[in-house]
Amino acid sequence: MTRRKLIGDSLTFLTAGALALDIIFVIAVIVLIAAKGLGHFWQKDLIELKLNDGRVYLGEIWNRESNPDAGTRVRLKVGNRDVSGTDFIWVDERQVEVQTIPVNAVLVERSEWGNFYGYPVAIRHGDRILAEGSAAVMRRFGSVHAEKSRQLQRIHEIEKDEIGDVNFQIEKLRLTLRRVELGGGDSAARAELESQLDAQQYRYDRLVTKLESLNAEFESERLVLETADGIERAIVLGHVIRLVQPNVLSAVDAIGLYASRIGEFLTAESRESNTEGGVFPAIFGTVMMVFIMSIVVVPFGVLAAIYLREYAKEGLAVRVVRIAVNNLAGVPSIVFGVFGLGFFVYLMGGSIDRLFYPESLPNPTFGTGGILWASLTLALLTVPVVIVATEEGLAAVPQAARQGSRALGATRFETLWRVVVPAAMPGILTGLILAMARAAGEVAPLMIVGMVKLAPTLPVDGNFPFVHLERKFMHLGFHIFDVGFQSPNVEAVKPMVFATALVLILVVLATNLIAILLRNRLRRKYAASAV
Amino acid sequence: MNSKLERDPQLHNHRDLETVLEKPILAAESLSLWYGASQALKEISLSIPERRITALIGPSGCGKSTLLRCFNRLNDLVDGVRIEGDIRFHGSSIFDPEVDVNGLRRQIGMVFQKSNPFPKSIFENVAYGCRIHGMNRKRELEEVVERSLVRAGLWDEVKDRLHESALGMSGGQQQRLCIARAIAVEPEVILLDEPCSALDPIATAKIEELMQELKERYTLLIVTHNMQQAARASDYTAFMYLGERVEFGETGQLFVNPSEKQTEDYISGRFG
Ligand SMILES: Nc1ncnc2c1ncn2[C@@H]1O[C@H](COP(=O)(O)OP(=O)(O)O)[C@@H](O)[C@H]1O
Ligand SMILES: [Mg+2]
């Protein structure tokens, strides 16, 4: 073998090796996140440990590690935060006398205080006992719980829809009144508004009374449970989300439980300051923000690229602009956040408030962070990507096609609009795909232009005008940060962090996939350039 | 060569060049053109007879394409072009400021050396010109597309895949599609710039055959550096050399009995 061949061969191995390493890293990331995130929803057995000093624990084995001196210790998730104050304990395995998997042990998922592990005792309604003993409680629970769910739904309807609507009307009337006052309006109109306001206030009071009685009824049943060390607790049955006997689950039930937990995670709102429940508002916020960003960035980026490539005369000015655009893509994203705050939120938002919402001042409407400003900030951040990709797409359209169009009597604009831009569409979509991937992953700049830990309402709801671009919103990226690093119980939320990260990856993947499918369809249709 | 004259009765009736050229559809009058400082066309005068095929021959770089692009003012798109002299279309100047250039290009269509279908479907390629010039109704467009494809001899080959991409066709089909695209807007003149130079002999033969049919309706002006093609397919031939029109005449006459020494040298293959 000659030396030159040797160098050539080793180069092949080097490049192939680098690629293989890249692929392995990517796969490792996804596999790790998927395993940790998806494992969280699978129900493990409940173990009861009797220790030689008389303590008894019931819980799920979280992890196991070797002691500093000898033997191993296990970390047990014991829940019952309201009773014992902590979710987790360490047990030295040398101290364990008896380890059992009790058939009757139950896991209660509830809307506050985290999980409860213990044994069912009874279901009570006031002093009346509806069911007593483990088997009876389990049998009775289903029907009572179903009724509670219906009541809860009714309560939510009243809270969110009816009271929400009344609040919305009252706020609107109040602002109208204020506007009339600001304009020094006539007293007849004012009286009319005030009487309407009174009517709404009356409606509100009636709804609150109704809500109070519903709530009292909702909270009337208690589920009585006993902890492993014999302490009794009565939990409001309505607050129970799930009651499971993990140690006697059939395979089918176990899979059903797993699926229902994943479903809840994807479709429900979060509970207990994001450490439990679902991430739906964050998914919604992320997708909607990326969507608005796309609507804004595509026209702007495409028009700018068309000007640069098709109209501007090549020269120093164009070169400088092109360099500036490319460098814009390298500016740290937090800088865009600061700019967004200064320009969009304070300047534009402030002006909009002064012009269109003077009645609600000094409370800002658009003059504070919101999903619109966040989307615009991101559009600014991603517009260079779209410009560059579109320019490449335009450059790939053959000059001959343009000449052919001009020779048929088309004007320059018609040629551009009907031949060049459609042929450059795959390139434009490539730009959009890159922009969306970047936008969905940005967190830093959003923290100062409208993203929040917990938004009370989605940016879309049933109140006119249905889409509320001024509202604050939740975001998967921020959710990961918030849950992972800002919650008191870091160990308990770890799986949530992985699961949320997995969802974020899947959301980015899904949005990209849609755009890629669209691009492939266009490419097939035109069988055009490979940009 | 003589046999060709016998074969073409139309030509028989117009043997006299002067008679045919009394009212040419297109005429260049001492046309000169400069690309920046270099002169590409020198005082060219040339009359194009209506509903005939006129061939432009000459060695490569002599200005054939440049002259062709003058007739539909496609040189307007090139920076730094300067033109002197005139071109008359139906007797009036095409450089008149009143002239609507896009309207002119509709009347004088063009087919390029390298086929250049748009990255669209076959249907949309043919319908393109009509849409540009304001035809929107689906039925009308369908009629035009079918008629144009039939005239371009392409209908039978593509009628089942009108909505597939034009870029999936063979080279010869693409070139005939470009011809169909040009005739869809009902031009009077079609300029063809070496339409067969990238095609195989069978596809070339098809296009030559097509040209014979097209001259019933249209005036054709074809650039070729293939002298056999000019001799086979054209009624009149102009020979250009270094930006000048050296000789112009009936094809049979020019090939059998050229009056200029340069023409004779070129067609007998002594240079070019
Ligand atoms: N766009 C252009 N800019 C400058 N010079 C050109 C341009 N197009 C053609 N030329 C020059 O004009 C002359 C004639 O070219 P062309 O008309 O293409 O010749 P032909 O078609 O006969 O081969 C050549 O010398 C060529 O280099
Ligand atoms: Mg040429």
All domains in chain A, ordered by first residue: 280-530 (1.10.3720.10)
Average per-residue pLDDT for chain A:
86
User: By the CB < 8 Å criterion, does B82 face chain A?
Assistant: no
Q: Which of B74, B112, B167 sits opposite A528 (nearest CB)?
A: B167
B129 closest CA partner among B103, B157, B165: B103
Q: How many beta-carbon contacts under 8 Å exist across A and B?
A: 81
* C-beta atoms of A527 and B110 within 8 A: no
| Cα-to-centroid distance, B64 and ligand 2 (Å) | 6
Which residues lie at CB < 5 A from ion ligand 2? Answer: B 65
Percent of the residues in chain A that have a pLDDT greater than 70, as a whole number: 98
Q: Where are the beta strands (DSSP E) in A334-404?
A: none
Higher model confidence: residue A365 or residue A286? A286
Q: Confidence class of residue A188 from pLDDT cuts 50, 70 and 90?
A: confident
Question: HSE of A51 in the Cβ direction (CA atoms, 13 Å)?
Answer: 17
Q: Do A408 and B105 lie within an 8 Å CB cutoff?
A: yes
pLDDT at A124: 87
In total, chain A counts a number of residues equal to 531
Could you tell me the pTM of the whole model?
0.79
What are the helix (H) ranges across B60-121? 64-71, 101-107
Among B33, B35, B74, B81, which is best to mutate for testing ligand 1, by the most ligand atoms less than 8 A from CB? B35
Model confidence over B163-176: pLDDT tens digits? 988 988 988 899 99
Residue B238 confidence (pLDDT): 94
Give the model's pLDDT for residue A44: 87
Spatial distance between the Cα atoms of A301 and A382, rounded to a whole number of angstroms:
9
Reported as a single tens digit per residue, the pLDDT across B9-21 is 444 444 456 666 6
Q: Determine contact, residues A426/A393, Cβ cutoff 8 Å.
A: yes
Q: Which residue of B has its CA nearest to A397?
A: B119
A525 with B121: Cβ contact below 8 A: yes
Instruction: Tell me: ipTM over 0.85.
Output: yes
Q: Is the pLDDT confidence value at A429 over 70? A: yes
User: Mean pLDDT throughout B214-227?
Assistant: 91
Distance, in Å, from the CA atom of A201 to the CA atom of A214, rounded to the nearest integer, reads 20
Ligand 1 mutation target, pool B66, B74, B221, B225, most atoms within 8 A of CB:
B66
Choose among A406, A524, A525: nearest Cβ to B77: A406
Model pLDDT, residue A1:
59
Cβ of residue B60 lying under 6 Å from some atom of ligand 1: yes
Q: Which amino acid is at B152?
A: A
* pLDDT single digits (tens) A52-94: 888 889 988 888 888 888 788 888 888 888 888 888 888 888 8
Contacts of A400 in chain B (CB under 8 A): 112, 114, 116
**Closest residue to atom 24 of ligand 1, CA basis:** B61
Question: Is the per-residue pLDDT at A514 higher than 50?
Answer: yes
Task: Name the residue at shortest CA distance from atom 14 of ligand 1.
Answer: B63
Residue owning the nearest CA to atom 7 of ligand 1:
B35
User: Out of A118-127, A288-297, B106-115, which region has the weakest mean confidence (pLDDT)?
Assistant: A118-127
Query: Tokens 């008894």 belong to which residue?
Result: A56
User: Would you say B128 and B118 are in contact if contact means Cβ atoms under 8 Å apart?
Assistant: yes
C-beta separation of A407 from B110 below 8 A: yes
A381 min Cα distance to partner chain B (Å): 32
**Distance, CA of A422 to CA of B125 (rounded, Å):** 13
| Predicted local confidence at residue B270, as pLDDT | 66
Whether B25 and chain A come into contact, CB under 8 Å, resolves to no
H or E stretch including A106? strand A106-110
Share of chain B above pLDDT 90, in %: 63
Which of B31, B39, B60, B65 should be mutated for ligand 1, with most atoms under 8 A from CB? B65
> Between chains, do B119 and A422 touch, taking CB under 8 Å as contact?
yes
- Out of B165, B178, B185, name the one closest to residue A527 (CB): B165
Tracing tokens 């990326």 back to the chain, one arrives at: A290
* Helix, coil or strand: residue A107: strand
B72 touches A: beta carbon within 8 Å: yes
Q: How far is CA A211 from the centre of its chain?
A: 30
- Please list every residue in chain A whose beta carbon sits closer than 8 Å to the beta carbon of residue B112: 400, 403-404, 407
**What whole-number distance in Å separates Cα of residue A263 and Cα of residue A418?**
46
Q: Is residue A526 predicted with pLDDT exceeding 80?
A: no
pLDDT confidence of B2, banded at 50, 70, 90?
A: very low
The pLDDT assigned to B75 comes to 93
The CB of B112 under 6 Å from ligand 1? The reply is: no
The Å distance, Cα B223 to ligand 2 centre, comes to 8
B-chain residues near A527 (CB < 8 A)? 119, 165, 167-168
A525 contact residues in B (CB cutoff 8 A): 121, 165
Contact A409 B116 (CB under 8 A): no
The reply to whether residue A408 touches residue B72, judged by beta carbons under 8 angstroms, is no
**CA proximity to A228, closest of A376, A28, A97, A58:** A58
Q: DSSP H helical segments within A442-489, as ranges? A: 476-486
Check residues B46 and A361 and name the one with the higher pLDDT.
B46
Tell me which of A150-164, A289-303, B239-253 is least confident.
Answer: A150-164
Question: Which pLDDT score, from 0 to 100, does residue A313 have?
Answer: 85
The residue nearest atom 26 of ligand 1, judged by CA position, is B61
| CA–CA distance, B254 with B57 (Å, rounded to integer) | 11
CB contact under 8 A, B102 and A410: yes
Average pLDDT score over residue span A427-452: 87
> Residue B178: its chain A contacts at CB < 8 A?
404
Gap from A272 CA to chain B (nearest CA, Å): 56
**Interface test mutation site (partner A, options B118, B126, B130, max chain A beta carbons within 10 A):** B118
Query: B interface mutation test: which of A314, A399, A405, A408 has the most B CBs within 10 A?
Result: A408
pLDDT at B54: 95
Is the CB of residue B116 less than 8 Å away from at least one CB of chain A?
yes
For residue A531, is pLDDT > 70?
A: no
- Residue B44 near ligand 1, beta carbon < 6 Å: no
Helix, coil or strand: residue A409 = coil
